[in-house]
Chain A
Amino acid sequence: MSARQTELELVQVTKRYGTTVAVDAISHRFQPSSYACLLGPSGCGKSSTLRMIAGHESVSEGAILISKRDVSTRPPARRGTAMMFQNYALFPHLSVADNVAFSLRMKGVDKSQRMTAAGEMLELVDLAHLSDRLPDQLSGGQQQRVALARALITRPQVLLLDEPLSALDPFLRIRMRTELKRLQRELGITFVHVTHGQDEALALADEIVVMNNAGIEQAGSARSVFERPDTAFVARFLGSHNVVQLDGEVFALRADALTLCAPGAGHLEANITNVEYQGTHVSVTTRTYDNQEISVLLSDRDFFAHSANPGEPVGLSWAQETLHRLQG
């Protein structure tokens, strides 16, 4: 499959349910052929946004452009999108191959042809040997790959994934994550992946769109969003950041940029409230004298070089350039 340069763009897209606004006039242009993650807490409007792109939810106002054409009034199958549902939504009465070939059957493709196509798709997700099974007889990870094959057989320009990894156990989740990324690279199409897990978003996304309260809080490459969060919300939601107030201004300060030193020798004075051993790292939670909670992430070697215990006073220090000023 050749890489097509497909552009997905949202223009002032709004979704209202009665008087509640689920998505409030968001505009965003996704990078062509990239892996994008819509990241946010539950109820932030990310799922509604995805479902509007897919066509399973009507757009109250605004336009959805795919390759410069407004698709917001087209039926789901005529948009060039395909959706992978959160619970996979496999047809329980159809075999794996029939599930994958469903859309071809709807188009009236004849049986031998659609079985060949389904076989190729199942090859792509490494499930060709299970094509006669029913969905019930598959593990969660296998079901997910069937759902993926079923979505991809329509040759979509944009693949929409609604919390695709949330039903899997943590171990499998990391494996499927790699697989999704590999598929996106090989197919060269745009993936839009909705998640509330920041680690998932950071690991997968070329582009992260952080959403909150029905709007886009910040969008950019994974690295730029992580290193330069615009707001306190983004810094907190991505984790590994402290939001610190210094001289009336708010800064983001990465937990791993802080070090512990003797009381009086650092920038801030604090008491240790908790020490959590995490294997390669140790997370030390402290409370400053002006009552801000700040966590410090130390490598286990640094921590055990001079151990610190809950209740002890300690100084917090950092390099001045690691302070990142936040908006308002």
Chain B
Amino acid sequence: MGLSARNQGSLKSWAMLSPLVIVMVVFLILPIAMIVTVSFWQATEWSIIPAFVFENYAFLFGSPVTYKVFVNTFKYALITWACTLLIGFSVAYFLAFHVRSMRWQITLFLLCTIPFWTSNIIRMISWIPFLGRNGIANSVLMSWGVIDAPLDWLLFSDFAVILAFVHLYTLFMVVPIFNTMMRIEPSLIEAARDGGANGLQILWHVIIPLTKPGIMIGTIFVLTLVMGDFITVRFMSGSQSANVGRLISNDIALLQYPSAAATAVVLLGTVLLMISILLRFVDIRKEL
């Protein structure tokens, strides 16, 4: 009797869980399983053959291009991370500690989100007339006499790629950092001041340590977004630079699905490894 009641209870909890389980299985587990499976298949120029071979991985790890592209991807991720962290932390700090009234905080925060009302691609493309050889940036700089000839590294360069990344993803840094900063009790700042801390010491000894979980969440957002991106790199570098995402998209364009899948698996493994290392440093559970 008691046993059957317990079984019924567990059945009920499984039933309640099922919508989430179904969504996760169909949209997360299955696709990843599919990619992993396909990464072991064989492919020729005209056919894809189900198999269990390691030739895709062998090719991937045997090619010097792979390493160059991965290094390039890490470079983009690292520089973008540093820039978004600096800007994101400053913006969040300003919003949380300098803007006193809730109304202004909300207004300014919404202002930050306005760029997100348009699509990523449009935001990216809008840089082109600005940065181009005869673009606004060059003509302004020339009219001020700062430069004599147009700068050609402004567009279709690593600079342009990172600029676009920073533009696209800084808000992903602002939001979690702002969120953790808002949870810092004002009395803690007062207590620090009572203990003789100056502004910089309060920042270093109180605010930054207490904001670490937010910084970590923002870092995870930015890293995963940049590592997985391919369209920004293609547009802003004028197809002159590559990252792992472009490697995959090129394979797909050539219908080399097994090779693309293998690259995707390696990328996924790399990103997961990075995140697991990050999570070792900071406990973000209480933020979730």
Contact = CB atoms under 8 A, between A and B. Distances in A.
A106 B194 CA distance: 11
A107 B192 CA distance: 12
A154 interface: yes
B196 A106 contact: yes
Contacts, number: 62
The CB with the most chain A CB atoms within 10 A, among B185, B187, B195, is that of B195
B12 interface: no
Interface residues of A, number: 25
Interface stretch (A9-17, A74-82, A165-173): A74-82
B200 to A, nearest CB: 11
B187 A77 contact: no
Interface stretch (B48-56, B201-209, B231-239, B259-267): B201-209
A273 interface: no
A106 B191 contact: no
Q: Tell me what chain B mostly uses at the interface: helix, strand, loop, or mixed.
A: helix
A91 B206 contact: yes
Nearest to B210: A93
A89 B206 contact: no
B185 A75 contact: no
B8 to A, nearest CB: 39
A103 interface: yes
Given A85-B190, A87-B185, A87-B187, A92 B210 contact: yes
A154 B205 CA distance: 18
Nearest to A57: B190
Given A92-B210, A93-B209, A105-B205, A56 B195 contact: no
Contact of A103 (B188, B196, B209): B196
Nearest to B198: A106
B210 to A, nearest CB: 6
Given A91-B206, A93-B210, A105-B205, A56 B193 contact: yes
Contacts of A86: 187
Interface in B147-206: 185, 187-188, 190-198, 201, 205-206
Contact of A54 (B194, B197, B206): B194
B210 A102 contact: no
B239 to A, nearest CB: 47
B71 to A, nearest CB: 35
B191 to A, nearest CB: 4
A58 to B, nearest CB: 13
A119 to B, nearest CB: 17
A46 interface: no
6 contacts: A76-B193, A77-B193, A83-B194, A91-B188, A107-B196, A154-B195
Given A56-B194, A102-B192, A154-B195, 17 more contacts: A56-B193, A75-B193, A76-B196, A77-B195, A78-B196, A85-B187, A86-B187, A89-B185, A89-B191, A90-B191, A91-B191, A92-B210, A103-B196, A105-B205, A106-B201, A150-B191, A150-B195
